Amino acid sequence: MFNRFSQYEGVFRDWRRDGMPGLKGDSYKYIDFLTSPDDDQAARDGTLWPHQWESFLRVVYSHEILGKADLGADGLLLNIVTGGGKTALIAAIVAWLRIAHNVQKFVLLCPNLIVRDRLQDDFEGGKVFKTRDLLPNWGGPKAEDFVLTTLGTGKEGGWASLFSSTVILGNIHQFYQSNNSGQSNLSALMNGPEFALFNDEAHNSPALEYDATLRRMREKVVLRIDTTATPDRADGQTPDSDMIYEYGVRDALADRIIKTPVVYQPDIKTVQLTYTDARTGENKRVEEIDWSEVDRLGLSATQWVTDDVPMQQQMAIALRRLEEQERRAKKRYQPILFVVAVCKADAEKAAQTLNKYFKVKTLLVTEDSGEEERQKATQLSKQQKTASPYKAVVSVLMLREGWDVPEVGVILLLRKFGSKVYGQQVVGRGLRRVRVKGVDSTEPQICAIVDHPKLEHQWLWDIFNAKKHVNVLIDDLFEETADLPEPPEKQEFDKPELAIDLPPVDPDAVDDGEFDVGDVPPPPKPLENWKKALDGIEYDSINVEITNVGVAGVIGQELGAEGWKTITSVPEVTGDSSAVMTVSDGSIRDAVRDGLLEIAEALTIEAGYAATFKDRVYSALLHHVRAKFLKGSSLGLAEPADVSFAWKRLQQMRNKVEKIPGLVAGVIEYGD
């Protein structure tokens, strides 16, 4: 996403140097209150961090000096890394608007309950204003003047609370016009005074109803501020607001605002495969092959982290990292292992393996989890101080944006990411630094990420600009924090006067289609008789399971400009061999459904169609699965053994379908 403020950096720098001419008197007075007495270009200690200060001043400049005609007609966007303190920045802007512009109402929107609960904790009783010393004592508002109403908690009192509260916090869905409650809340808001709007996790706002709600509010909004760590979505859409500040991972690493991410992968030499008839359970054969030959077998990427033995080995590596993190924590806090699964069935298996096999107290959180489990997940930081803390939490899509538990010290990936945006959000769960009593703000902290080479997460290495240093030993890193490499050099925008504006698109420019595309073959024609081709696919009943993996060592690589690479021995897997891991029948049925949806979307996009056509492909694949694997029964009524058989055939089905030219296009074009 393009930084719209770049063209103003030069004049902005001069404006600050010249004493900020043109500001409202109260704005200047408030900025002076926040300014360090020793450096008129920096914030006072204990208030805003340097990047928060830079963000804040750009918001003030954009709103008061430039105005919406030049910038921010649909809002101003701040792109700040997870753990970068967006909440404190929001609070500073709230205080400034109240003091300098007499704004009396502030609406904080968020996409889910996890984000809402985090914001509620920060703003309840004016906590964030007190913690960061953001309110002056020269006659301005006090922390208790910012009365908070949180929608959806059962404590709000309808229109009365919306009118009387200063800060209104709610999920965006609670203002949707598609439901009665949303209509009432939006009506109350639009019949009240003007307000400032804060759109947290703003990368969600391109959704149609989300965007429509923001536009409906626009006529009452004095200033809209969007915040996010990932503005560039996987579908190419971005928020409609103007980005004015970027503070990314590299900047945060340089300033030691976040933990240093370290990725570990096993170094595999040999693989033992066991072939079993899925229908009869008969063991056909066992094969041991060299690691370099495994690609010819066409194993799915997730088998390398979800089959029993590989999962146990990955968990053993992760638990060794957790032990190292516990030694570094020195009993000041309890580090947590965060396990990310692709479906509920895999999550159940992972949680059972940790609980029963490794005897590690583990919390499982899925879409079926009750309110108690969800509350435990959001309050893990508090629970970690009890006599029996959780050491691991397993999740499927539930704990993403907004779930900020600084004690997450290890992340185990049991899934392949198709989206770089989602991958960044997951890794972001471990980037927030632990800030508790006894932990110095300058103390180096690490987030260990346990990955697998077959998941092909090269994006992870690329995003963090990974570089290698081959002679650093693992013990040197985790036993003594002094041996951590220096943070990467921070990039600064030194010569804004050299920045150029992008030329506008010429409306008269016409693409006549006459250009050379090389030797790229045209896509296959949609297959009219697609149903016959789909019905003609045959499957074998042999399951291939990874039953042993020869691991030579574990490779670790720090993500940063001065990165390093280490190799250490793999920890021995010594768990409870009597423990039996079972996956519930309902979870397997859900896994088949979710797997079909994921395959349908991927095949639709690969065929050159928009993802909105995936429903047609899903329907065709579902009927195919019923005919081939479920003996004609529906997914809900089929025998458990048949559903399990179908689950293990999904990857094989995808491979066969995508190899038939024009099949998916035929389903979309000619399917009913």
Closest CA to 269 of 308, 313, 307, 300: 313
- Best mean pLDDT range from 23-37, 171-185, 513-527: 23-37
Residue 105, in any domain of the structure: yes
Lowest mean pLDDT among 8-17, 30-39, 212-221, 465-474: 465-474
Q: Which of 268, 327, 330, 339 is nearest to 477 (CA)?
A: 327
Q: What is the pLDDT of residue 476?
A: 33
pLDDT tens string 458-484 = 766 566 643 322 222 333 344 434 445
Rounded CA separation 202/225 (Å): 9
The band of 491, judged by pLDDT with boundaries at 50, 70 and 90, is low
The reported pLDDT for the residue numbered 45 is 94
Residue 283, judged by CB atoms within 10 A of its CB (0-12, 13-18, 19+), counts as exposed
Q: Among residues 223, 247, 271, which one ends one of the domains?
A: 247
Where among 247, 282, 302 does a domain terminate? 247
The verdict on residue 547 lying in a domain is yes
pLDDT, tens only, 543-575: 777 777 776 555 555 554 444 444 444 556 666
Average pLDDT over residues 228-248: 84
Averaged pLDDT for residues 589-598? 91
Say if residue 454 is in the same domain as residue 319. Answer: yes
Q: Could you tell me whether strands 39-43 and 35-36 are parallel, antiparallel, or unpaired per DSSP bridges?
A: antiparallel
Q: What is the DSSP string of 16-30?
A: HHTT-TT--HHHHHH
- Total domains in the chain come to 3
Q: Are residues 414 and 287 in the same domain?
A: yes
Output 144 or 541, whichever has higher pLDDT.
Answer: 144
pLDDT classification of 429: cutoffs 50, 70, 90: confident
Q: Does 519 map to a domain?
A: no
Q: Which structure tokens are listed for 496?
A: 């804004």
Q: What is the pLDDT of residues 648-659, one digit of tens each?
A: 889 889 989 999
Q: Are residues 402 and 550 in the same domain?
A: yes
Q: Name the pLDDT band for 313 (thresholds 50, 70, 90).
A: confident
The upper half-sphere exposure of residue 338, i.e. CA atoms within 13 Å in the direction of its Cβ, equals: 27
| Count of other CB atoms within 10 angstroms of residue 489 | 10
d(CA 497, CA 6): 9
Q: Tokens representing 64?
A: 């008061």
Q: Burial of 597 by CB count in 10 Å (0-12 exposed, 13-18 middle, 19+ buried)? A: middle
Amino acid at 315: M
Residues 22-40: what's their mean pLDDT? Answer: 95
Q: Please give the pLDDT value at position 475.
A: 34
According to the 3-state scheme, what is the secondary structure of 494-533?
A: CCHHHCCCCCCCCCCCCCCCCCCCCCCCCCCCCCCCHHHH
Please give the torsion angle defined by the CA atoms of residues 502, 507, 513 and 517, in that order, rounded to the nearest 10 degrees: 10
Residues 304 and 417 in one domain: yes
Give the CA distances from residue 480 to residues 87, 444, 459, in Å, rounded to whole numbers and listed in that order: 33, 10, 29
393 with 426, same domain: the answer is yes
- Give the CATH number of the domain where residue 89 resides: 3.40.50.300
What mean pLDDT do residues 179-183 have? Answer: 89
More confident residue, 233 or 436: 436
The pLDDT value recorded for residue 483 is 42
- 3-state SS, 238-275, equals CCCCEEEEEECHHHHHHCCCECEEEEEEEEEEEEEEEE
- pLDDT, the chain, mean: 82
Q: Is 50 exceeded by the pLDDT of residue 314?
A: yes
Burial of 534 (0-12, 13-18, 19+ CB in 10 A): buried
| Structural contact between residues 189 and 220, judged by C-beta atoms closer than 8 angstroms | yes
- Among 108, 92, 121, 379, smallest CA distance to 221 is for 108
The fraction of the chain above a pLDDT of 70, given in percent, is 81
Directed axis angle between helix 50-60 and helix 86-101, to 10°? 40
3-state SS assignment for residue 542: strand
- Report the pLDDT averaged over residues 112-131: 87
Residue 503 within any structural domain of the chain: no
Residue 484 has which token pair? Answer: 């951590």
Rounded to whole angstroms, how far apart are CA atoms 588 and 590?
5
Q: Residue 474's pLDDT is what?
A: 32
Q: How many residues appear in the chain?
A: 672
As a whole number of angstroms, the distance between CA 57 and CA 281 comes to 67
Q: Give the pLDDT band of residue 68 (cuts 50, 70, 90).
A: very high
Residue 131 in contact with residue 49, Cβ under 8 Å?
Answer: no
The phi, psi pair for 369, rounded to 5°, reads -65, 145
Q: Please say if the pLDDT value at position 452 is more than 50.
A: yes
Counting Cβ atoms within 10 Å, is residue 331 exposed (0-12), middle (13-18) or buried (19+)?
exposed
Beta-carbon contacts of 65 under 8 Å, excluding residues fewer than 6 positions away, are: 15, 22, 23
Nearest CA to 231 out of 78, 9, 451, 124 is that of 78
Shared-domain flag, residues 199 and 271 = no
pLDDT of residue 61: 97
What is the identity of the amino acid at 101?
H
Tell me the residue range of the domain where 72 lies: 6-247
How much is the average pLDDT of 225-254? 85
Closest CA to 169 of 210, 128, 113: 113
Say whether pLDDT at 455 is over 70: yes
Asked if residue 404 belongs to a domain, the reply is yes
Q: Is there a contact between 263 and 556 (Cβ–Cβ < 8 Å)? A: yes
Calpha distance 393→329 (Å, rounded): 18
- Residue 58's pLDDT is 97
82 and 213 both lie in a single domain? yes
Quick one: average pLDDT of 377-400?
74
Q: Are residues 218 and 319 in the same domain?
A: no
In this structure, the answer to whether residues 362 and 479 fall within a common structural domain is yes
pLDDT for res 572? 61
Q: pTM here?
A: 0.75
Tell me the C-alpha to C-alpha distance, in Å, between residue 399 and each of 88, 153, 432, 460. 22, 20, 14, 19
Inter-residue contact 39 to 47 (CB < 8 Å): no
Shared domain for 35 and 136, answered yes or no, is yes
Burial of 649 (C-beta count, 10 Å sphere; 0-12/13-18/19+): buried
Residues 238 and 365 in one domain: no
Task: Work out the angle at residue 464's Cα, subtended by the Cα atoms of residues 460 and 465, and round it to the nearest 5 degrees.
Answer: 110
Do 555 and 567 meet the contact criterion of CB atoms below 8 Å apart?
Answer: yes
- Is residue 255 one of the residues assigned to a domain? no
Give the tokens for residue 228: 């996010």
pLDDT of residue 467: 31
If residue 554 lies in a helix (H) or strand (E), which one and from where to where?
Answer: strand 542-558
Residue 515 scores a pLDDT above 60:
no
Would 31 be classed as within a structural domain? Answer: yes
| pLDDT at residue 431 in the model | 84
Torsional class of 668: left (φ above 0), alpha (ψ -120 to 50), beta (otherwise) = alpha
Write the burial class of residue 67 (CB in 10 Å: 0-12 exposed, 13-18 middle, 19+ buried): exposed
Q: Give the per-residue pLDDT at 404.
A: 73
What is the gyration radius of the CA atoms in the chain, in angstroms?
A: 27
CB 351 within 8 A of CB 587: no
Q: Do 328 and 483 meet the contact criterion of CB atoms below 8 Å apart?
A: no
Report yes or no on 526 lying in a domain.
no
Of 269-278, 509-518, 613-622, the least confident: 509-518
User: Pick the residue with more confidence: 215 or 610?
Assistant: 215
Per the rule left: phi > 0, alpha: psi between -120 and 50, beta: everything else, 603 is: alpha
Q: Determine which helix (DSSP H) or strand (DSSP E) holds 97, and give its type and residue range.
A: helix 86-101
Phi, then psi, of 232 in degrees rounded to 5: -90, 105
Most confident of 240-244, 328-332, 395-399, 415-419: 240-244
Q: How far is CA 368 from the centre of its chain?
A: 20
Q: Is residue 346 domain-shared with residue 302, that is, in the same domain?
A: yes
Report CA-CA distances (Å) from 198 to 107, 120, 218, 321, 347: 6, 14, 12, 38, 34
Closest CA relative to residue 625, chosen from 603, 593, 598, 601:
593
Hey, what amino acid is at 153? T
pLDDT at 21 over 90: yes
409 pLDDT more than 60: yes
Q: Which of 220, 247, 274 represents a domain boundary (last residue)? A: 247
Average of per-residue pLDDT across 193-222? 90
Query: Tokens in use for 354?
Result: 């940790």
CB atoms within 10 A of CB 552: 14
